[in-house]
Amino acid sequence: MSELLTLSEGAVLTHLATRAELAAGALKAVDDLRLWARLADGDGVPFAGGGVVRTVVEAGEPSLTGPEGWLAAVRPEDVVALRLREGRLELSTTTLADFSAERAIRVTEEFAEQALEALRAFAEGLEPSPGVSIDVAVLELLMKAPETFSDPLPPLAPLLRGTSLEVRGGRVGIVGAPWDTESVAGLAPLDIVRLALVRSTLRAYEEGADLSKAITYLSRSETVLARIADEVEREPLSPALVEALPRTEPAALLLAARSAEGEGRSFEAAGLIAEVLALSPGLAPAERDAAEYAACRTNPADPLPVRAAHLFRQLLAYGYRPARRRLIDDLVALSIRVAEPALADLALFENDVVGEFLDARGEWLREDEARLLESWRRTPLRLWEILGVAGDEITLREAGDEGREPVTLADELLPSQARAGDLMLTRLLDDGTGPHVFGHPFKVDPARRDEMLALLSDPVDPYAVAAFFRRAARPEPPR
């Protein structure tokens, strides 16, 4: 500790005080003041006005506390300056009117360099996080150039975020660092670095920036290319960045295609995918996209019921694309994994993914197919009571509306999985000849009939329906 005190002597760190901090009498030290939190841990550091500054940790986050009234002169939104002088912490406020831009640049450059080194160490399995701890980087700067923090600079967290660095829980990484470490489990070290560097280039892009290194990284790893392409579809690129992508590079064209797909321009995306495969035949992500686009064109010789079944499969594929997969995953997280096929149907219709499919891919649909999909959009989710099963036919009636006429439909699977008295949650979709069950129905416990009916009032909340299947039945009230 004495070595740290010696190294930090004369240094000043700043922090923007908030109303909540002043009310609590403590300054958050997760980021800007992290070095002082390290020094004040345990016995604390003497305060120049008397008493001791100590580190307290709540919910995993450190704060600095001091003697009674130590923040009395500070107002909300004041920039607090904490300086270590002769082993004591001095507190003042500053306006930062004339801070040294040269020293601020030195700080950001050092952090950028150390963030990159931290990423490489993480990729090699040498460090648990892809970012450098702020206190470690500050100490490194103090060893190299002790005068760096001799006068107040802007608070570290906002200063670093303003220069394409990310600050997370007291650590600093490059933009696009894999903070969710599980997301890169199994990737080769070099691919982890490539993935983060390409993300950083795309997310921090400014007009005229050099994209050549990022395109090279993508061209050298199909694994990284597939991941980045999925991310671009979820978060499409800016028009300026799309325009800057070199149209002679297959990897760049794939990103442009995925960006178009993410914005609902499938027809344009298909044309770009054709260009990708002309330049790089066999590129797996592009081949999968090309196959999906080709499948949107049905065989005109097929009757409408056959094409309807095909369209439903294409709807499911569309729902599982990167831009919409989250809708399904969110429902699964609230429910049970075995219900995923039925939850996918729920996500498609209750979030109007069918309408998005029509907008994005309507140019490939025939008139009767488009009309059919429009009718599907208007078809509500309902609870059905099974009245009887005979051969490959099943007879249903809408639960809660016993006055309606029963519906009989032919199905290869349902009659073998159901019996009279069962309750089935599904939507009956027109296949051109009559009602049909294309999705996977939910089976509902008859004891929970009323509970489910209460969830089906328009508009249906898909999250409430998903959670229904995770909950146990409510106990019967005592009689």
| pLDDT for residue 434 | 93
Take residue 97 and report the two structure tokens written for it. Answer: 């009117």
DSSP label of 335:
S
Q: Which residues pair with 334 in a beta bridge?
A: none
Count Cβ atoms below 10 Å from residue 429 Cβ, excluding itself: 20
**Do residues 150 and 109 touch, judged by C-beta distance below 8 A?**
no
Q: Angle at Cα 136 formed by Cα 130 and Cα 141, nearest 5°?
A: 115
Q: What is the pLDDT of residues 324-381, one digit of tens each?
A: 999 999 999 999 988 898 999 999 999 999 999 999 999 999 999 999 999 999 999 9
**Do residues 376 and 386 touch, judged by C-beta distance below 8 A?**
no
3-class DSSP state of 116: helix
Angle between the N-to-C axes of helices 189-203 and 101-123, in degrees from 0 to 180, rounded to the nearest 10: 140
Count Cβ atoms below 10 Å from residue 281 Cβ, excluding itself: 10
Tell me the H-state helices in 95-238: 101-123, 134-144, 156-161, 189-203, 212-220, 222-234
Name the one residue in this structure whose structure tokens are 């892809």: 130
- Residues in contact with 136: Cβ distance below 8 Å, sequence separation at least 6, in sequence order: 114
CA-CA distance, 152 to 94, in Å (whole number)?
Answer: 8
Q: Give me the sign of the Cα torsion angle 323, 328, 334, 337.
A: negative
Count Cβ atoms below 10 Å from residue 146 Cβ, excluding itself: 14
Low-confidence residues of the chain: pLDDT under 50 = none
Decide: residue 55, CB within 10 A, 0-12 exposed, 13-18 middle, 19+ buried: buried
| pLDDT for residue 474 | 53
Count Cβ atoms below 10 Å from residue 77 Cβ, excluding itself: 9
| pLDDT for residue 371 | 97
On the question of a cis peptide bond just before residue 415, with omega within 30 degrees of 0, the verdict is: no
Q: What is the pLDDT of residues 22-32, one digit of tens each?
A: 999 999 999 99
Amino acid at 361: R
**Do residues 196 and 231 touch, judged by C-beta distance below 8 A?**
no
Name the one residue in this structure whose structure tokens are 């997760």: 30
Backbone φ, ψ for residue 314 (5° rounding): -70, -35
Residues in the chain: 479
**Do residues 426 and 442 touch, judged by C-beta distance below 8 A?**
yes
CA atoms within 13 A on the CB side of 204: 18
H/E stretch holding 16 reads: strand 12-16
CA-CA distance, 307 to 90, in Å (whole number)?
Answer: 76
Amino acid at 50: G
Count Cβ atoms below 10 Å from residue 188 Cβ, excluding itself: 13
